[in-house]
Structure formats: structure tokens, C-alpha cells
Structure 1
Amino acid sequence: MRTNDYQLLGSFFTLADAEAPEPNRLRLQVQLNAHHALFAGHFPGQPVVPGVCVLGLVKDVLQQHLAKELLLRTCSNSKFLRPIDPITMPALTLTVGYTQRDFLLDFAASIQHEHQLLCRVAGSFQSDFL
């Protein structure tokens, strides 16, 4: 099974717009699918984006941008300031900075809704693996 088999891009979220990428930095508009089956269980009537889906979103965006599969190795920092409600906050801004270090891709990402910071995550993805 490939890591792409668990991709969220296209079903859980889509990319609505992107600024011209800077070296090692992306800033994109993300549109959440509030009707995704995941929200039926997380939580019925009060959907919230799970933290693991935030990491998956960052991974999928970087995989597409770099055209290589990634595997999460570490999450060294995560700070969730407000729950991400896909009904009241369907349009988000994702900012990701990244640097390549040997076989690791270090990243720091943040998600905002209308200029309000919702969360920050940082860690490393492995970019070359068997």
C-alpha cells in the first residue's frame, strides 16, 4: 500500500487558490468539504477537523508541490488555538515553510480563517524511503 492511498486532497479538502510559491514556502487557500464522512463521527452535529487531518493536509499539499511521496516522521510541535469547524470555517489559509535535510523534510505550518490563527504544527517528513 502506498502513502498516496490515504490522501485527503480531493475528498476532505480542495485547493481553491495559491499565491506564487516562494523558495521553501507555500501559501494556499484551502476549501474544506463539510460533508465528508469523517465528520459524521467527529462529531455528529458539531464537526471539528481532527489534528491528524491537519497533518494529513500539510503532507498532501507538500507531496503535490514537491511531486514526491512523504511519510510523517515527527510532529515536534502542535498548537491548536481554536477548533476548526468546517461548516463555519470552510475556507482556510494554509502557510507552510519547509527545508530539506538529508532524507528529511522539516516543516512548520499554520492555518488561519479570515486572518485568525487557528493552529500551528511543525515536524519532519521522510522524503526518500523504500
Structure 2
Amino acid sequence: MSILTDFYHIEQFQEVSDSKYMVAIRLNPEHEIFEGHFPGNPVTPGVCMMQIVKDVSEQITRRRLFLTRSTNVKFMALINPLENPDIVLDIELSYEDGELVKVKNVSSFGGTIALKLTNVYKIIK
């Protein structure tokens, strides 16, 4: 269960291969987070995008995950939910030592890359 209640909805979930997924989400521009970030000019907080990547990774693995490391985190474009509510997450997963999940993500809207990151999560048993 996401801590981002009603912040986004998954519109499409596609397994591209054994380890690659394409997930289309729609942001809720009416969500209260945008009232403070920022009034009149909403911008999706980077930490919320990182949480969405975690949420989707938990759905893929069907496991609860704990973030242990982030590398190569690059916020490349602002996401205004009024102008670009539809986001595509391309996710690639690999497992390390049976208890870690490495997630590579590229999030984009309309062909514009907004976020690139690599996260490592510990599987919570």
C-alpha cells in the first residue's frame, strides 16, 4: 500500500520481458501535495516520484521493499501535473544475493525524460 493515497493511479501495466516493465500512471493534479508544491504552479516533488518507483517495484516483486541505496538519481525535467499528468515508468529489475532488488528506472512524459535513477532495495521478510 502506498503512502501516496490518491496521488496517482496506474493506467497500464505491461511486462515487456522477464525483467523489464512499462507502467503508465496518471497523476492527480487535485491532490493536496500540489497545494503546497507550489500554489498556482504545481510541480511533482522528486521524493514522490521516487516513492512511485518503490510502489511499482513492490507491485512487480510482490514484496515489501526497504530502500538501501540510490545512485545516479537525475531529475531532468519538472513534472507539472496540470500540463503532463501522464507519466511512463520504464523499469528493469535484477536480484542480488536473494535479498536485494536492483531497480533501474527512466520516467518520462510525452517523450521528455523527467527522472533517471538506480535504487537498491532490501526485501522485507
Check whether TM > 0.5: yes
1-structure distance, mates of 2:66, 2:33: 21
Question: 1:71-116 deviations in whole A, cap 9, x for unaligned?
Answer: 1111112111110111100011110111111221111101111112
The alignment-based identity, stated in percent, is 27
Kindly indicate whether residue 106 of structure 2 is the aligned counterpart of residue 116 of structure 1: no
Aligned-residue CA RMSD (Å)? 1.4
Question: 1:39-93 deviations in whole A, cap 9, x for unaligned?
Answer: 1111111111111111100111111122111111111121111101111000111
User: What is aligned with 1:22?
Assistant: 17
Kindly indicate whether residue 52 of structure 2 is the aligned counterpart of residue 57 of structure 1: yes
Q: Structure 1 stretches (4+) deviating beyond 4 angstroms?
A: none
User: What is aligned with 1:7?
Assistant: 3
User: What is aligned with 1:68?
Assistant: 63
Aligned positions, number: 124
Which residue, out of 31, 37, 43, partners 1:36? 31
2-structure distance, mates of 1:74, 1:107: 10
Q: Normalized per residue, which structure has more strand?
A: 2
> Does the 8 Å CA contact 2:89/2:107 hold for their aligned counterparts?
yes
- Normalised TM-score (structure 1): 0.88
1-structure distance, mates of 2:12, 2:61: 17
Structure 2: tracts of 5 or more residues without a match? none
The 3 A distance-change label for structure 1 pair 87 and 19 is: same
2-structure distance, mates of 1:55, 1:99: 18
- Normalised TM-score (structure 2): 0.91
User: What is aligned with 2:96?
Assistant: 101
Structure 1: tracts of 5 or more residues without a match? none
